[in-house]
């Protein structure tokens, strides 16, 4: 398996790249006026698996976006352009002879490495604790590219059970909501009725076919013209039977797939009594809120996980304000939100299960990650959880 790596890019008249492994060591570097995107892709993918693509510019160049899209890597960029002195300090520990363009690439790669270093260490500690050395590269790749609990990744890599196959479908983004489940259940019921109807139809046609064959034997002694007519009818019935049998097989395949989806959702629903249910939003934008409010049914004292709270609409904030809602996010909330809501930093990796609109979390993890600036008492958190549970019981 090729090593996982961070790619630093510097596009321009003279393009350059540098490959940095996840231990912070240089694998390769190159630059040139004829170093096209296609050539760069070929050289880099031959040596490694890009996980992160970095640039020293705050505004991401289109070349970097195209490269990241081709290799499926996450883009890391600074909030403002890296200063010359910062670049020099980043390159100083390395003894490699690099030109100016390659040094810019190295500074960008080191910036991405430092930003993700805590994640690397957390993953490596887990691998060491569970002795997953033989699965290290696979574990690192899943942990860095999929927002999945480490325990689930370990099971995916070490177990081969029906449950892990279902989890693997969730990791592959095949997630279903409660509404999807109800739609699938209705579809399953309809298909079962259609299957029964088709089986009855086949039985009827088999009886007809048996009758036609008997008549065919009886009429065989008659004229050739009558015999040909019967043969034509027989062939027609055979074709219809084969077609309907094929349709039944296709319906059975669909039903099997639906059973798997229903099992996956039942697994998620079954966990809701053991863990804290958290509702999810990507941002506080009007578009995101309008798209999900009917699914989420946000009520007072809800726990609301927002992936990027920096994107918000004042109208949405005003609608949610004063309702005891706790805002959870992997990122710090802007002042306009932290001053009006109870907030807590909560990494998405701590969720033990999730669907598109909901997640499940250990209550102790929620309490552990409470933002001390806004919530200083474990008793307050317990009150929110109890109020939330009571409201769910009423609903």
Smallest CA-to-CA distance from 318 within 331, 342, 298, 336 is with 336
pLDDT tens string, the chain, 395 residues long: the values are 889 999 999 999 999 999 999 999 999 999 999 899 999 999 999 999 999 999 999 999 999 999 999 999 999 999 999 999 999 999 999 988 999 999 999 999 999 999 999 999 999 999 999 898 888 889 999 999 887 888 888 888 887 655 445 545 554 455 556 565 556 667 777 888 888 888 999 989 998 998 898 888 888 777 677 678 788 888 888 888 898 889 899 888 988 888 876 777 777 777 767 788 999 999 999 999 999 888 888 999 999 999 999 999 999 999 999 999 999 999 999 999 999 999 999 898 888 888 888 999 888 888 777 644 444 444 445 545 555 565 566 55
Q: Give the Cα separation of 54 and 111 in Å (integer).
A: 8
pLDDT of residue 379: 46
pLDDT of residue 372: 44
User: Which residues fall within 8 angstroms of residue 57, CB to CB, at 6 or more apart?
Assistant: 77, 78, 81, 82
SS3 175: coil
pLDDT of residue 221: 74
Q: Give the Cα separation of 17 and 15 in Å (integer).
A: 7
pLDDT of residue 238: 87
pLDDT of residue 86: 92
pLDDT of residue 376: 40
What strands, in cross-sheet order, belong to the sheet with 351-354?
A: 342-345, 326-329, 303-306, 276-281, 358-361, 351-354
User: Which residues fall within 8 angstroms of residue 153, CB to CB, at 6 or more apart?
Assistant: 139, 142, 143, 146
Burial class of 79 by CB neighbour count within 10 A (0 to 12, 13 to 18, 19+): exposed
Q: Give the Cα separation of 163 and 168 in Å (integer).
A: 9
pLDDT of residue 368: 77
Structure tokens at 391: 């409201």
DSSP strands (E only) in the chain:
4-10, 15-21, 26-32, 49-54, 74-76, 276-281, 303-306, 326-329, 342-345, 351-354, 358-361
pLDDT of residue 177: 63
Please give the CATH architecture assigned to the domain spanning 178-268: Orthogonal Bundle (1.10)
Write down the domain spans for the chain: 4-119, 178-268, 276-394
R_g over Cα of the chain: 30
Q: Which fold has domain 4-119?
A: Nucleotidyltransferase; domain 5 (3.30.420)
From residue 240, give the alpha-carbon distance in Å to each of 144, 216, 314, 379.
53, 18, 62, 70
pLDDT of residue 373: 43
Dihedral of the alpha carbons of 377, 378, 381, 386, in degrees to the nearest 10: -130
What values do phi and psi take at 291, rounded to 5?
A: -70, -30
């Amino acid at each position: 398996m090729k090593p996982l790596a961070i790619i630093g890019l510097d596009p321009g008249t003279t393009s350059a790249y540098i490959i940095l492994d996840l231990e912070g060591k240089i694998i390769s570097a190159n630059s040139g006026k004829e170093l096209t995107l296609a050539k760069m892709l070929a050289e880099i993918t031959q040596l490694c698996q890009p996980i992160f693509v970095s640039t020293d510019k705050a505004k991401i160049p289109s070349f970097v976006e195209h490269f990241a899209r081709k290799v499926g890597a996450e883009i890391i960029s600074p909030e403002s352009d890296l200063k010359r002195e910062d670049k020099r300090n980043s390159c100083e520990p390395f003894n490699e002879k690099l030109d100016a363009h390659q040094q810019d690439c190295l500074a960008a790669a080191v910036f991405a490495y430092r930003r993700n270093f805590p994640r690397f260490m957390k993953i490596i500690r887990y691998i060491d604790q569970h002795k997953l050395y033989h699965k290290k590269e696979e574990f690192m790749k899943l942990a860095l590219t999929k927002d999945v609990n480490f325990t689930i990744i370990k099971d995916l890599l070490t177990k081969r059970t029906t449950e892990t196959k279902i989890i693997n479908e969730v990791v592959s983004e095949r997630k279903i909501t409660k509404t999807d489940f109800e739609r699938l259940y209705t579809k399953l019921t309809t298909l079962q009725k259609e299957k029964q109807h088709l089986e009855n139809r086949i039985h009827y046609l088999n009886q007809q076919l048996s009758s036609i064959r008997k008549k065919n034997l009886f009429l065989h002694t008659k004229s050739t013209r009558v015999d040909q007519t019967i043969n034509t009818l027989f062939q027609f019935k055979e074709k219809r039977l084969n077609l309907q049998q094929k349709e039944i097989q296709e319906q059975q395949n669909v039903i099997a797939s639906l059973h798997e989806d229903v099992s996956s959702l039942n697994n998620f629903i079954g966990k809701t009594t053991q863990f804290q249910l958290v509702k999810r939003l990507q941002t506080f934008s009007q578009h995101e809120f309008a798209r999900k409010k009917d699914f989420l049914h946000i009520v007072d004292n809800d726990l609301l996980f927002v992936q990027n709270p920096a994107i918000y609409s004042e109208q949405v904030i005003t609608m949610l304000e004063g309702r005891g809602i706790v805002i959870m996010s992997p990122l710090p909330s802007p002042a306009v939100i932290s001053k009006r809501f109870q907030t807590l930093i909560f990494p998405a990796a701590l969720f033990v299960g999730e669907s598109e609109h909901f997640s499940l979390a250990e209550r102790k993890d929620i309490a552990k990650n409470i933002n001390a600036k806004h919530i200083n008492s474990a008793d307050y958190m317990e009150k929110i959880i109890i109020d939330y549970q009571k409201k769910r019981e009423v609903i």
